[in-house]
Amino acid sequence: MNLQGRVALITGGAGHIGSAIGDGLAELGAAVAILDMKADECETAANRLRETYAVDALAVPADLNDEAAVRAAPGQVVTRFDRLDILVNCAGFGRAANLPGWVTPFEQQNADTWRKALEVNLTASFVLTQACTEALRASGHGSVVNISSIYGMVGPDMRLYEGTDRGNPAAYAASKGALLQMTRWLATVLAPDIRVNAITPGGVWRNQPQEFLDRYNSRTPLGRMATEEDIKGAAAYLASDLSAYVTGHNLVIDGGWTAW
């Protein structure tokens, strides 16, 4: 697998999963543009890729709520690298988002937070993919990888969260489920020039409370939560020509969670 000469744009590239995906693509020789909200974190992530993997990297700070900034991002990448081959839509509101009416019982979740979550988790991916289409088509190797979640496929088992400060917002599930359908839609509409696939991780280890971890592990055939290392290889596969005949696919990395 070789990505020498390819250029990737990763939203949420300074976060845990986005950073791991950036590592995976850079290890294979790709230049990487990091799109994230905070300029200092973007630059730190880009510098780390340059120093660790001896590849070119670009910081593209942008707020995914700002449509003009999102639409401008691909132009910055093409100006710097003269091409764009891979788009990874990884950014989004997760469990840790500090929003009112987010990780609360359903009756307390509010419509304003619902709208904000869909804007970042879903609409921004639509806007950015649309803005990247011309460059991805011109590359001859265009690949879009959307990062979804098992909660875009199945309902939550709320017993996991009992006695913890954890929860499972409706907007998160709805946005991730819609992202999977958008993946299928784009795969047929943008074919044959651009491949569009999704990765659906299970729960990722983030120092969760022990009671949650025990319940989650017992509910998972492989007996553990996911790590970033579990995800980055899948992203590299879908980004590369090893998956040249794969589009509209949802690659589930959940330790068997959804196989029960």
Q: Which residues are catalytic?
A: 172
- Using DSSP, state whether 48 is helix, strand or coil: helix
Task: Locate the DSSP E strands across 137-249.
Answer: 142-147, 194-201
Give, in degrees to the nearest 5, the angle at Cα 130 between 155 and 40.
Answer: 80
Q: Are 60 and 43 in contact (CB under 8 A)?
A: no
The separation between CA 231 and the C-alpha centre of its own chain, rounded to angstroms, equals 10
Gap between the Cα atoms of 48 and 61, Å rounded: 16
Can you tell me which residue has the tokens 């879903």?
122
Edge-to-edge strands of the sheet including 31-36?
Answer: 57-61, 31-36, 7-11, 86-89, 142-147, 194-201, 250-253
- Closest to 89 (Cα-Cα) out of 53, 110, 46, 120: 120
Amino acid symbol at 71: R
